[in-house]
């Protein structure tokens, strides 16, 4: 099953996704997309690590998400990706401006054929005002389009608000 889990910052989406992974009873591979660029981000990453079961395999990959999913795929596995908006940020800020489109297309092409259960966590950022700055507006646009494409491919889409899951699809 492919599941897209959306919500705002600190909405409870990561905790929900982790519980879904535990409840699956499958071997869990946690795919982290964050990069620790400063002390505050390192602390956030450590907090996430401390909140996960210690027997989960961890793969840290900020760019080549499709490669990791393909390498880790298999029946009896649950691939939990946290989070897509950090991955999007990493790609949009990369030196190669064409890399995001390439990696996005690879992900969208690969996802339907994966045998593993896949949990995709992402921040919904399109419910506020139109942001200032070209990069910020592109980020909101690309996140929205990515979420729409992933929701179309996912059997289940869940919106998390204040720790409460609301099933949008499936």
Exactly one of 22, 27, 45, 48 is catalytic; name it. 48
Q: Classify residue 53 by its DSSP letter.
A: -
* Among 53, 11, 9, residue whose Cα is nearest residue 30: 53
Report the alpha-carbon distance of residue 136 to residue 146 in Å, rounded: 15
Contact 23, 10 (CB under 8 A): no
- Where do the H-state alpha helices sit in the chain? 13-24, 39-50, 65-72, 84-92, 99-110, 134-153
Active site residue 48: yes
Report the alpha-carbon distance of residue 138 to residue 147 in Å, rounded: 14
Q: Which helix (H) or strand (E) element contains residue 122?
A: strand 117-123
Catalytic positions, written as ranges:
48
């Amino acid at each position: 099953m492919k599941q897209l889990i959306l919500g705002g910052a600190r909405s409870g989406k990561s905790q929900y996704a982790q519980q879904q992974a535990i409840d699956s009873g499958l071997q869990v591979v946690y795919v982290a997309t964050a990069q620790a660029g400063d002390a505050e981000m390192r602390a956030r990453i450590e907090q996430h690590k401390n909140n996960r079961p210690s027997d989960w395999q961890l793969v840290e990959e900020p760019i080549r998400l499709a490669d990791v999913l393909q390498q880790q795929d298999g029946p009896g596995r649950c691939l939990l990706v946290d989070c897509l908006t950090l991955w999007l940020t990493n790609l949009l800020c990369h030196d190669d401006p064409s890399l995001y489109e390439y990696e996005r297309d690879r992900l969208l092409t690969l996802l339907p054929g994966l045998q593993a259960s896949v949990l995709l966590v992402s921040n919904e950022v399109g419910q506020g005002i139109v942001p200032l700055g070209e990069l910020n507006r592109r980020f909101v646009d690309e996140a929205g389009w990515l979420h729409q494409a992933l929701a179309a491919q996912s059997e289940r889409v869940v919106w998390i608000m204040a720790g409460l899951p609301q099933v949008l699809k499936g």
